[in-house]
Amino acid sequence: MLNAPQVRAENLIDTLAQAYRYNPQLDAQRALLRATDEDVARANSGYRPDLRATADVGRQSTKVVPDTGRSQSNSFSPRGYAVQLVQPVFRGFQTTNAVNAAEAGVRAGREQLRNVEQGVLLDAVTAYGNVVRDQAIVKLRENNLNFLGTELKATKDRFAVGEVTKTDVSQAEARRALGQSELDLAKANLKSSRAVYEQVVGNPPQNLAEPNPNSKLLPRSVDEAIGIGTKENPQIVGALYAEQGARYQVDQIRGELLPEAQLEASYQDRFDSGGSTERSESASIVGRLNVPIYANGGEVHARVRQQKHTHLARIQEIEQARAAVQSQVVQAWSQLVGFKAQRESDKAQIEANRTALNGVREEEKVGQRTLIEVLNAQQELLQSQVQLETTKRNVLVATYSVISAIGRLSVQEVGAASTVYNPEVHYDEVRRKWWGIDITHDDGRSEHIDTWNTRTEPAPVK
């Protein structure tokens, strides 16, 4: 994981950019995808020769006692080395299908990375909205506490001159105590939201601006959203690639029932092997054909049948993913429509409550209303204001939930970053790599600098 710079995000786009680059969950998924890339290199090894060298050295003594009774002893040090090369020629298309299956697995892994990216970005949006909401609620609670403090002071002054009773003072004191309690709870909620924000984004929030939901990425209707989601959602695309890989694995296992041909070459050099031979050399080139007649007691046949069942399961998982995505799109869309309607109702309620509060305060001055009615009107206004801040947060999260459900919540689409992680760089680097065990580079980098490149166009869905 890269060290996050001491830069504070001030708007939602900056927050998404930081979460995309520094979130450890997303960075871990990138590492898992790089590990999946190595499956292609492993599969390609089936095309390559297997070269091995052996060497041995020893000490041997013999003692012979003939009929004459005089023993004879011989000692020698047998030693030597051998080199053997095996080059596969034909393996029943096992290698070809293994490579195809591995490549399908890589493409499925990329979709899993895209799915995790969407989840992280949605978590960042949610964390941002929660902090902004809780900041606004704290400010509302502080203003309410100031209002109640002013009312309490005025009530005590009026009680001192006999205009109100002790009951009015107690009511004002109780409401101020309630206001203080609600403010303390709001501050605690804000601290909690800030902690979650720092966990997701990597930096504590500071001076967050009022977010504006990116409605440009929203489809025009729920039907259009479902159509996009069933084509672009990474859960569905990943399931398609998983089915493709399972199909290739059926053919890969079936290849074990076909003949195999390979070329074998060896060279051996022996020294002091005993007797009169001081040194011996041998070399051979052999073409070998293996024809399985009844392989492993039918175990291969069982694995073919087993993989066919797995392939059928992957087909059903595609339908399962489509149904799940459709449900997610409909739910997110319905919530968004409902929250937007609620937002307008909250605004109307605030205006009505504000008008009512002003009227009750004026009527209370001329004795037509009591203090408790003023306090109740203030509490109703406060509740409607708090509800509006919660609804605004819900609209923001629901908007990006729809974008995520259709598969378009990415830093490229929302314009959060021009420099993005390109998984094809590592894939191209290792897929035909013949040797080497290091995953770092000469300068100590754990990933190639070109892995992060400038690419503002969204990647096409294959």
Which pLDDT score is estimated for 295?
83
Q: How far apart are CA 314 and CA 246, in angstroms?
A: 7
**Which residue is it, tokens 């927050």?**
15
Task: Report residues of the chain scoring pLDDT below 70.
Answer: 1-9, 67-72, 274-277, 440-462
What is the pTM assigned to this prediction?
0.85
What are the C-alpha distances in Å from 458 to residues 113, 343, 408, 428, 454? 15, 32, 9, 20, 11
Eight-state DSSP code of residue 24 = H
The whole-number pLDDT of residue 68 equals: 65
The pLDDT tens digits for 45-101 are 999 999 999 999 988 877 777 766 666 677 778 889 999 999 999 999 999 999 999
**Range list of β-strands (E), 160-275:** 260-274
Cβ pair 164, 170 in contact under 8 A? no
Give the Cα separation of 23 and 30 in Å (integer). 11
Candidates 1.10.10.10, 1.20.1600.10, 3.10.20.90, 3.40.50.300; correct CATH number of 12-49+98-258+299-454?
1.20.1600.10
Q: Cβ distance 55 to 39 under 8 Å? A: no
Strand-pair category, 419-421 with 452-454: antiparallel
User: Cβ of 146: how many Cβ atoms within 10 Å?
Assistant: 11
What pairs with residue 69 in β-bridges?
none
Q: Specify whether the backbone of 277 is left (phi greater than 0), alpha (psi in -120 to 50) or beta.
A: beta
How deeply is 435 buried, as exposed, middle or buried, from its count of CB atoms within 10 A (0-12, 13-18, 19+)? exposed
Secondary-structure breakdown of the chain: helix, strand, coil percentages, each rounded to the nearest 5:
65, 15, 20
The region, left, alpha or beta by phi > 0 then psi within -120 to 50, assigned to residue 26 is: alpha
Q: What is the pLDDT of residues 158-212, one digit of tens each?
A: 888 888 889 989 999 999 999 999 999 999 999 999 999 999 998 899 889 888 8
Side-by-side strand order, sheet with 260-274: 50-57, 79-90, 260-274, 277-290
Q: What is the dihedral of CA 184, 189, 190, 195, to 10 degrees?
A: 130
Distance between CA 189 and CA 127 in Å, rounded? 12
What per-residue confidence (pLDDT) applies to 118?
Answer: 95
